[in-house]
Chain A
Amino acid sequence: GNSVTQMEGPVTLSEEAFLTINCTYTATGYPSLFWYVQYPGEGLQLLLKATKADDKGSNKGFEATYRKETTSFHLEKGSVQVSDSAVYFCALNGGSGNTPLVFGKGTRLSVIA
């Protein structure tokens, strides 16, 4: 079945540092890939997504590229801020219609000033 593996946290960075959170997946078919973010006390929010190979999703300075050859969708940001502290989830769907999301375990990011 489909699965997502993302790097374990917590990740602690200083403000303005470069961020990479690794995500790899196993899937049949052609899934769409997502990054969701969960701020303390809040629900999951879509951060970015990519629907086919070589697509790059981007939002709020974050970006991730759908790499079919390495089955990866790593999240990157060039300069993190304290406000980026949250838990980040990589996810995929079945690739057709409104199929359920399969999530990774999440990576907690703490950014210190």
Chain B
Amino acid sequence: EAGVVQSPRYKIIEKKQPVAFWCNPISGHNTLYWYLQNLGQGPELLIRYENEEAVDDSQLPKDRFSAERLKGVDSTLKIQPAELGDSAVYLCASSDSLQETQYFGPGTRLLVL
């Protein structure tokens, strides 16, 4: 069974540029999460989807961050414009409705110059 897929793995951009990250969850998992992991810290939730509905986006900085999961499968997280402080690892995870274990992708490491 394929795991959670994320792309790109690495991204370097200049500040004020837009950037997008893509995630494809494990097949059949209806819950999808985006987490932010700063250096030396544990991951923190940005947004959680149940199918195509964002059910918890209270920690998403909505002035510059947006996310979508249009068909309830893969998801895109966007930052526009990026700031220096956005340099971090962006993790995607998924789980199904029967078990609470979350499975994580390898993450996208973003560096904003």
**Majority secondary structure, A binding face:** loop
Give the distance in Å from the alpha carbon of A99 to the alpha carbon of B56 in the complex.
Answer: 9
A44 x B43 contact (CB < 8 A): yes
Interface residues on chain B, size class: 20 to 34
Which residues of the other chain, A, contact B48 by a CB distance below 8 angstroms?
Answer: 98, 100
A43 x B91 contact (CB < 8 A): yes
Give the distance in Å from the alpha carbon of A104 to the alpha carbon of B41 in the complex.
Answer: 8
Looking at A11-19, A59-67, A76-84, A89-97, the stretch in contact with chain B turns out to be A89-97
Contacting B at CB under 8 A, from A9-56, are 32, 34, 36, 41-46, 49, 51
What residues of chain B have their CB less than 8 Å away from a CB belonging to chain A? 4, 31, 33, 40-45, 48, 50, 56, 91, 93, 95, 97, 100-107
What residues of chain A have their CB less than 8 Å away from a CB belonging to chain B? 4, 32, 34, 36, 41-46, 49, 51, 89, 91, 93, 97-101, 103-106
